[in-house]
Amino acid sequence: MSGQQKVKVKTYLPARPLPPNSERKPILTERLVIRPYREEDLDGIYIIHRQPEPMKYTMRGRIDDDKTVTRENMAKYMPPNDLHTYSNVICLASTGEIIGTGGVSRPEQWFGWPEIGYLFKKEAWGRGYGTEFVKAMVSFWWTLPRAAVELEVAVETVDGPGEAPEMLAAMVEQSNIGSQRVLEKAGFREFRRWSEPDNREGRAGTIADVMGYAISSVGQKGYHVVASGGVPVLEPTDNAPV
């Protein structure tokens, strides 16, 4: 990201490495099962990755050419890479159908903070699944065990250098009104808009208009500091994820 100003802060993040997929329990909502990736998910995810409508908003910016490309993408979220990201397959609780993918990526990607992202097949749009997923994922994210860290983060997300509350960020294109509404319903607030050259395949000479969103850990259920050997660390409460 060009021209982004960052500032160093002391804060908290989920302790690394993250729990492996084999130890992660599904996150259950009224209509969704949010669970780790499996090898047998290839066909269901490939269906989504062949749809131009959702794929135009991804980092790839276009549909997958074949299942080999989809399999390579899935590998980013499966062992041993699962220790660095908390990414999931999103299924309908009623049928088990895969309708999307989503989760939280590594913190160094854009704004310094961990970043949530999601992708839903076009048939699932407009039914509230995106909001249901983001609210559940965010609620769960705050319950993971924490560790103290120093980070360089987007200057607009904090009051200045020094100690800062942990944030969870998201990036969305300005043309993606639906995704903006999902984030806002889940409690995210816009902190920046910018434009830069779009370097995705087939978009040479075009401009990407983008927005940054963030949500604070302050006041979030399940998020608190405890003392461990005199060193402040963060641990989950007994509250179950939404």
What is the per-residue pLDDT across 200-220, written as a single tens digit (0 to 9) for each? 888 888 999 999 999 999 888
pLDDT in tens, 23-62: 999 999 999 999 999 999 999 999 999 999 999 999 889 9
Please give the full DSSP string across 51-111, using - where no structure is assigned: -HHHHTTSSS-S--SSHHHHHHHHHTTSTTGGGG-EEEEEEETTT--EEEEEEEE-TTTTT
Decide if 69 contacts 42 (C-beta within 8 A). no
pTM of structure: 0.90
Q: Which of 128, 159, 169 is CA-nearest to residue 31? A: 128
Question: Phi first, then psi: what are they for 16, rounded to 5°?
Answer: -105, 145
Decide if 205 contacts 119 (C-beta within 8 A). no
Residue 70, token pair as written in the block = 């989809």
Decide if 37 contacts 87 (C-beta within 8 A). yes
